[in-house]
Structure 1
Amino acid sequence: MSMIRSSVLRAQRLAPSAILARNASTSSYAISNVTLADVEKRWENMPPAEQAELWMQLRDRMKGSWGELTAQEKKASYWIAFGPHGPRAVPPPGESSKIFLYTLIGVGVSFATFYSIRLAGRPAPKTMSKEWQEASNEYLKSQKVEPITGVSSEGYSGPGMVQSK
């Protein structure tokens, strides 16, 4: 209630010229059809300042009654807001195949790098041989390591230390 009362008091304090100036700034005249003609074709080539100015004019017009907007203004504002330009632009033809080709090249280079590193690398350590790992199992059994659930337990049927095939 106090908010309503304060806004009424503020409105009473405004001079009539201030009220007229406020109403004049919110209502604007229709944007010319020449300005809006073929905006779909011209938008990408327009300088950013001109794009911003046109959008601001349309935004100011849309603040008022939408019944006052012309069909050209409605069409232009919709196209500027949701049209296929900028980040929503349709990719040029051949771009998908180019992306696919470069991806394949990248995967091929990574495989070549991986195998060249593997060829230049050292052989597997001797502890990775199956014989060494089976000998490790026998050693663990002789030392009675993990007698409850491990290799030394009764009826154990797991691989133990054997990882190689």
Structure 2
Amino acid sequence: MFRQLAKQSISNVSKCQTRFASTSITPAAISNLQGRWEKLPESDKQNLIEALSEKQKLPWTTLSLEEKKAAWYISFGTWGPRRPMETPEDSAKIYKGIAIGFFFSAALFIAYYSQRTIPRTMNKEWQEQSDEYLASKNSNPFSTYSQVQSK
């Protein structure tokens, strides 16, 4: 029974290979596909997509390296809807704008906080007087009560 199943599967594989062998792809059709894909006519694109999809139904060991690269590019390459929206020049402008905005906001932050005055309740004398007042009111919740902030 096992031999019969093995013979059937071998015959099915050979039939499948002969059926898909008719869809041969020339190396010239898939060489430098990344550079030529946008310029190819739609009919050639569809023929190439169909031929590669038929070849991919075979075991992947039968595909050449160029065919694998072409199949990957057609499936996941940067063409059509996956084409980047901005060019490298646009990206450089975007990064420069982000850097300028960051440095401008940092300069504003430093300028604002350098002009800021310390509130009068934060000086050491005020805090010491607060400690004396709390001690006079017996406001010692656990062990000591200190308002003096460390520098």
TM normalised by structure 1 equals 0.51
Question: 2:30–2:66: 8 Å Cα contact kept in structure 1?
Answer: yes
1:146 aligns with 2:132: no
- Is 1:28–1:61's contact at 8 Å kept on the other side of the alignment? no
Q: Is 1:37 the counterpart of 2:31 in the alignment?
A: yes
- Residue in 1 that maps onto 2:103: 108
Give the letter for the 1:162 counterpart. V
Q: Which has the higher helix share?
A: 2
How far apart are the structure 2 equivalents of 1:98 and 1:45? Answer: 29
Identity among equivalent positions (%) equals 35
Unaligned segments of structure 1, at least 5 residues: 1-23, 152-159
| Cα 1:105/1:115, change in 2 over 3 Å | same
- By how many angstroms is 1:144 displaced? 1.5
2:60 is matched with which residue? 66
Check the 8 A contact 2:127/2:147 in 1, yes or no: yes
Label 1:56 to 1:129 Cα distance change in 2 as closer, same or farther (>3 A).
farther
After superposition, the C-alpha distances for 1:105-134 in whole angstroms (9 at most, x for unaligned) are 34321221113333665x332111111111
Aligned partner (choices 96, 99, 112) of residue 117 of structure 1: 112
Q: Is the 8 A contact 2:52 2:71 kept in 1?
A: yes
Between the aligned partners of 1:51 and 1:131, the Cα distance in structure 2 is 83
**What letter is aligned with 2:110?**
Y
CA distance in 1, matches of 2:58, 2:130: 85
Give the alignment of 1:44-63 within 5 angstroms. Answer: 54-55=48-49, 57-63=51-57
5 Å-filtered alignment, 1:1-12, equals none
The alpha-carbon deviation at position 31 of structure 1 amounts to 2.6
| 1:162 paired residue number | 148
Deviation at 1:141, TM superposition (A): 1.3
| Runs of at least 5 residues in structure 2 that lack an aligned partner in the other structure | 1-17
What count of residue pairs does the alignment treat as equivalent?
133
